[in-house]
């Protein structure tokens, strides 16, 4: 069993290398590159161009391990890599490994990853994204790079002003997170924050928080701006029909990053977005053209796996291939 899987791994590796992104420049000499260096089996041939491309893809330090001069590298790489790899791939084809599971899954994944690599090669490197595109993204997303001063605010929302004053007096006597947290659990009517000591997160001047979906009254921010880090607002702060005890816990200074400082980060974001867009477009077009007779109702008939683990394969079937990072 181990030998066929070894052949399958070699076959998949050969597909990756033979269809790699790095190609040697043939200089227009297509006839020379088409010449056959060796023939293996009935039809498999190794051409000058294929050998050149494979050697060109090697980093210099690895190329040097095959010999001290160009001729020695060519001969050693052919004898030690190309020929054994091709023979083993032919052995895999003879045993029809490509038609078996999980080898067939692995081959499909190799082809899929090759398509993504082709999309990346067509788009070019991140550094090829023009500065005009970087500046436009910077202008459209200025809030990511220019942030105002933000205050970390803890607040206890009380029903009445008298209750808020009582809570404030108790907090001032023991200004510790533990005491404030106990007071919040006991008195705060804000159920979204009373179990976390009334922590509202870091609040911008307009009342927006770094906590998703959370926004506070601007009056709370103004009260916190009137004191220093670690201090309480001197009196309960009106908040709707209730009153708040406000504790300024800390400060994040304002930041302003110029476009030149974040250009590399923006290029990385744009490049990844474009790769995803191209991949999604290709997937959508292929889905429209090739997916048919889809009966999703049958998904409900799939039984649980013996172990109850949705990630393992049912008894008698081949395990699904593990996703890998590209």
pLDDT, tens digit (0-9, with 9 covering 90-100), for 273-309 = 999 999 999 999 999 999 988 888 888 888 876 554 4
The per-residue pLDDT for 147 is 86
For residues 20 and 54, membership in a common domain is answered with: yes
The per-residue pLDDT for 230 is 95
For the residues of 5-27, what is the DSSP string, one character each? HHHHHHHHHHHHHHT-S-----T
Is 207 part of any domain? yes
Strand-pair category, 150-158 with 242-252: antiparallel
260 C-beta neighbours (distance < 10 Å), count: 10
C-alpha separations of 200 from 181, 182, 226 in Å: 13, 16, 17
pLDDT, tens digit (0-9, with 9 covering 90-100), for 242-272 = 999 999 999 999 989 999 999 999 999 999 9
Q: Report the candidate in 26, 22, 24 with the shortest Cα–Cα distance to residue 120.
A: 22
Range of 187's domain?
146-255
Is 157 part of any domain? yes
pLDDT, tens digit (0-9, with 9 covering 90-100), for 121-151 = 999 999 999 999 999 999 999 888 888 899 9
Confidence of residue 164 (pLDDT cuts 50, 70, 90): very high
Contacts of 93 by beta carbon, 8 Å cutoff, 6+ apart: 11
Helix axes 2-18, 48-56, angle to 10 degrees: 90
Asked whether 217 and 207 are in contact (CB, 8 A), the reply is yes
- 256 - beta bridge partners? 146
For residues 88 and 170, membership in a common domain is answered with: no
Q: Report the candidate in 293, 190, 295, 206 with the shortest Cα–Cα distance to residue 246.
A: 190
For residues 171 and 76, membership in a common domain is answered with: no
The per-residue pLDDT for 236 is 96
The per-residue pLDDT for 14 is 42
For residues 168 and 31, membership in a common domain is answered with: no
Is 325 part of any domain? no
For residues 222 and 278, membership in a common domain is answered with: no
Domain total for the chain?
3
For residues 214 and 80, membership in a common domain is answered with: no
Please return the burial class of 53, using the count of CB atoms within 10 Å of its CB with bins 0-12, 13-18 and 19+: buried
For residues 86 and 14, membership in a common domain is answered with: yes
| Residue with token string 């808020």 | 164
Is 305 part of any domain? no
For residues 68 and 45, membership in a common domain is answered with: yes
The per-residue pLDDT for 263 is 95
7 C-beta neighbours (distance < 10 Å), count: 22
pLDDT at 326 > cutoff 50: no
pLDDT, tens digit (0-9, with 9 covering 90-100), for 79-111 = 999 999 888 888 888 888 777 778 778 888 888
The per-residue pLDDT for 317 is 44
The per-residue pLDDT for 27 is 54
pLDDT at 26 > cutoff 80: no
CATH number at residue 204: 3.10.50.40
Query: What is the chain's mean pLDDT, rounded?
Result: 84
For residues 223 and 262, membership in a common domain is answered with: no
Q: What percent of the chain has pLDDT over 90?
A: 56
For residues 166 and 207, membership in a common domain is answered with: yes
CA 94 to chain centre: 39
Is 107 part of any domain? yes
Contacts of 216 by beta carbon, 8 Å cutoff, 6+ apart: 153, 155, 200, 203, 207, 209
The per-residue pLDDT for 306 is 58
For residues 246 and 274, membership in a common domain is answered with: no
Is 231 part of any domain? yes
For residues 87 and 134, membership in a common domain is answered with: no
Q: What is the mean pLDDT of residues 162-190?
A: 96
pLDDT at 152 > cutoff 90: yes
Is 318 part of any domain? no
Is 317 part of any domain? no
């Amino acid at each position: 069993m181990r030998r066929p899987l070894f052949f399958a791994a070699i076959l998949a590796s050969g597909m990756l290398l033979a269809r790699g992104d790095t190609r040697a420049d043939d200089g227009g000499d297509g006839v020379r590159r088409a010449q056959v260096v060796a023939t293996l089996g009935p039809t498999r041939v190794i051409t000058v161009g294929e050998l050149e491309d494979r050697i060109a893809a090697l980093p210099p330090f690895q190329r040097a391990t095959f010999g001290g001069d160009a001729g020695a590298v060519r001969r050693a790489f052919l004898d030690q890599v190309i020929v054994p790899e091709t023979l083993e791939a032919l052995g895999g084809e003879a045993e029809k490994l490509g038609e078996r599971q999980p080898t067939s899954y692995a081959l499909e994944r190799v082809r899929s990853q090759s398509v993504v690599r082709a999309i990346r090669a067509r788009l070019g490197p991140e550094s090829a994204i023009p500065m005009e595109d970087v500046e436009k993204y910077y202008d459209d997303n200025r809030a990511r790079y220019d942030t105002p001063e933000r205050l970390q605010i803890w607040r206890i929302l009380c029903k009445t002003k008298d209750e808020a004053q009582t809570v404030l007096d108790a907090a001032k006597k023991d200004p510790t997170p533990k005491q404030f947290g106990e007071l919040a659990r006991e008195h705060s009517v804000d159920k979204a924050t009373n179990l976390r000591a009334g922590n509202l997160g870091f609040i911008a001047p307009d009342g927006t928080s770094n906590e998703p979906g959370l926004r506070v009254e601007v009056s709370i921010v103004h009260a916190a701006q009137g004191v220093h880090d670690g201090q309480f607002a001197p009196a309960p702060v009106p908040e709707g029909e209730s009153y708040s005890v406000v504790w300024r816990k800390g400060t994040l200074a304002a930041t302003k990053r110029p476009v030149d400082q974040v250009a590399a980060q923006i290029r990385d974001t744009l490049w990844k977005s474009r790769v995803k867009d191209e991949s999604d477009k290709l997937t959508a077009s292929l889905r429209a053209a090739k997916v048919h007779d889809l009966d999703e109702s049958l998904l409900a008939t799939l039984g649980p796996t013996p172990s109850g683990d949705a990630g393992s394969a049912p008894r008698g079937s081949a395990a699904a291939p593990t996703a890998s990072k590209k």
